[in-house]
Chain A
Amino acid sequence: MSRPAAAARRTHKGEYIETDTGNKISRKSHIDGKQHIMLGGRTVVMAGVQMRGDLCRVAEKSSDGGAEKEGPTTAIAVGSVDVEIMVQRGTIISTNSVLRPPMRLSRGQMTCYPMRMGDNIFIGPGSHISAASISSHVYIGANCVLSPFCVIKESCKILPNTVVPPHMIVPPGSIVAGRPGRIIGEVGDGWGQGGGGGEGEEWVEGGDLRPLVRSIK
């Protein structure tokens, strides 16, 4: 699942399959094209989530065969994808969300583009994600639509039921809401800080989500 070599093992007979790198994959999720999906560790994929790794760019058979090895064949990359320095930090993809790499017509051919995601991203339930990239410490509420090729930079908050229009670039630290989504404000200077509280309040929006990842069983 996570890295080609990482074999999924059963830890207990729960809902989740836990991998060596701490990814938790619900048995009730629908994942296509596993070989094209990279999970950087401590990522939770919840029930009903659809990940369309099969929508990846077809490796070009022509001249440059070297390009086949990297980027293009990855459809969805979650967490730090620098394989040498694996940052073990959690991203949570809540129930019934759909992750679908963006695609567009290019020279008469439908071409898929990879989707990249950073660390500590929370994706609310029922969201439909086709973004080109989502940076770290982003909080996405329930029922959002991130239209194809939108780019969400660091530390943004997307309020529930927002439709981020195609190709929109959301600068760091923005609060986005509406249909179409507009920047309605900025997150506080302490965004993501102040975790480490008691049980259940260890995680804050935009903060370190590892405790929340741990709590999901």
Chain B
Amino acid sequence: MAAPWANTYYACPCSELSAAAPPNVSNGGTPLELPGSFDNGEEGSTFDPHNPRANYSLYPLDNLLYCDECDAIRCPRCWIEEVINWYCPSCMFEVPTSAIKSDGNRCSRNCYNCPLCTSPLTISSVASPRPVEDSLKPSDAARPQESYLLQCQYCDWTSLDVGIQLDRPTKITEQLVRLRKSKDTKTDPISVSNREETFNNLTNFYKEELQGSTESQTPFGNSPYNSPANLARIMSLYGGVSHTALKKSREKPQPMREASSHSQGLLVYTADKSDAEEEILQRLKELGWNGTTTGEQRQMAPVNNDARFLGQLWPVATALRTRRGRRCRSCRQFLTRPDPKMGSIRYKIRLLALNFIPRLSLKPLNAIPPPSNPAFRLTLDDSPQPLLQPFTPLQYVLTIRNPIFEKIKVSLATPDTTPGKVASKVTILCPSFDVGPAGDIWDEALGSSTTTPSAANDGGRKAAMASLTGSTTDTDRQPEAGKIWEKTRNSTSVILEIVPGSLKPPSRIVTLTKQEREEQAPRQDDDRLEIAVYVRVQWETHEEGPEAGLGKRDAERKMPSGEAKVAKELAYWCVLDVGKIADV
């Protein structure tokens, strides 16, 4: 039967969930028992892809990095980010960090987004024969100069909807700030400037109060210790007690004065706003639910935090974005570092996991026609991925590709039945094998572009052709336990046998309690057959270091005599998403 294409996700071993090694493979380099599986009896030792927390440790390989100092995979949880530059995604201008600190994280040029739908706003001139406007302002004489508006070309919101009309098509931010100020002054009895003044009064008052209270109460009157900063330094040098704690213990608490007038920054709440509230209620009745803003719209920008009605929404300045470098959390070296020049898409440093750790891929054996990569759907009427039939054995080719220039020794392990509600049986026919080193990049390029395959590639090519055409001598070949299926220069394929389990729980004679039934009810994605494979890789590299000379006893690679060898090891969980199981 047709079988789907599988996706692969890799678990970074930095979390507890994904770090657990299955018992059989964690001890030394002893090869695994033949079926390539181990008992599922030990709880917590296997990685369950259906665990809700698994989502936080599984990544596609191109999302992971690798620290070559620590010899470890690095994921968003175990790298730290460092902002290289801030820029506006709309005008692509870089904003210096000093400007971020003073002006905030929004573009101060002419970039604005629609407050309703987030699309970018465009500036257009108000067309003179605008019937709406004419009917609104019939008496208005012809304008001597053109005026402009901000317009969303996605949802047709315009700034005229909230009464914003601009005199110039440039310096939008400046104009909007001015309009906002005048609007606030109009709608709010306490104007903005008044509010700012009040706030300044208040902060000044309390600063003075604090100052006064410290000065008058410093116990070391005329001594060189009377400066609070000096005192604090001395205290932290000689005493375990902090400066403030010490002060508290010595001094009697003095009641501090509170602001009591407008000059001190006090603003008394007056309850005479009942009219305004009535008005809001009235408007709510008129406009209804559709006239009010959504939480998302209010949260999009501080300027709209208090907007109750759509008519109060203000254009949103485009939020800046960052370009970031990533450092290893433990050794702090850069793992990726983009070129600081804006507009450049190059990297100065980029240590990708896919250049360091073996890649797994799973494809059905003898599928005719070969499945297509769902990412590259070429036609719309491609049938959706076929479902897996329960209890129907399937054979897959699991290919392990080696990206490094050393020969690697790979051990695979997987629970013989998948954890979770749907127990599918999985068997790796050959769980332990070698994968050859990756060649020169030119070899690879030549190998893939020339029509005559090189000798090393021959077997793989033939097999691939066989699986494509499905009609050569190789089709007779049967997968054998303990045997490698095929091998190319830097990849080795083995056969994986899968028997999908049934989505229905096994029938029981005893009636279930309500709780048991709830536990058994299928959850979302329970029908996804995902196989967690524990991959353990061992290799040797010539390196000078304290470990030099610790060669592995089972080293097969012939090294030039006298060269130091270092044994390295890497292990991680990998999840193969095989497809959905049919509910029959």
A interface residues, Cβ below 8 angstroms from B: 46-47, 92, 94-96, 122, 124-126, 139, 142-143, 147, 154-155, 163, 165-174, 180, 182-183, 187-194, 196-205, 211-212, 216
Contacts and interface: CB of A to CB of B under 8 A. Distances in A.
A96 B118 CA distance: 29
A192 to B, nearest CB: 8
Contacts of A166: 119, 122, 153-154
B61 A194 contact: yes
A145 B371 CA distance: 27
Given A126-B380, A169-B90, A172-B345, A198 B491 contact: yes
Nearest to A205: B375
Interface residues of B, number: 54
B61 A147 contact: no
A135 B59 CA distance: 26
B89 interface: yes
Interface of B: 5, 59-65, 87, 89-92, 117-120, 122, 152-155, 321, 326, 336, 345, 347, 350, 352-355, 359, 361, 363, 370-373, 375-380, 399, 401, 444, 448, 460, 464, 467-468, 491
Contacts of A199: 370, 464, 467-468
A94 B62 contact: no
Given A125-B378, A199-B468, 5 more contacts: A166-B119, A169-B92, A173-B345, A191-B62, A198-B464
B154 A188 contact: no
B122 A188 contact: no
A134 to B, nearest CB: 14
Nearest to B493: A198
Contacts of A183: 89, 321
A182 B118 contact: yes
A182 B399 CA distance: 37
A165 B119 contact: yes
Given A143-B380, A167-B122, A169-B90, A200 B372 contact: yes
B118 A46 contact: no
B62 A189 contact: yes
9 contacts: A124-B377, A125-B378, A165-B119, A166-B154, A167-B122, A171-B89, A180-B117, A203-B376, A212-B376
Q: Which of B90, B354, B375, B464 has the most chain A CB within a 10 Å cutoff?
A: B375
B345 A201 contact: no
A184 to B, nearest CB: 11
B197 to A, nearest CB: 39
Contacts of B153: 147, 165-167
Nearest to B468: A199
A169 B120 contact: yes
A124 B60 CA distance: 21
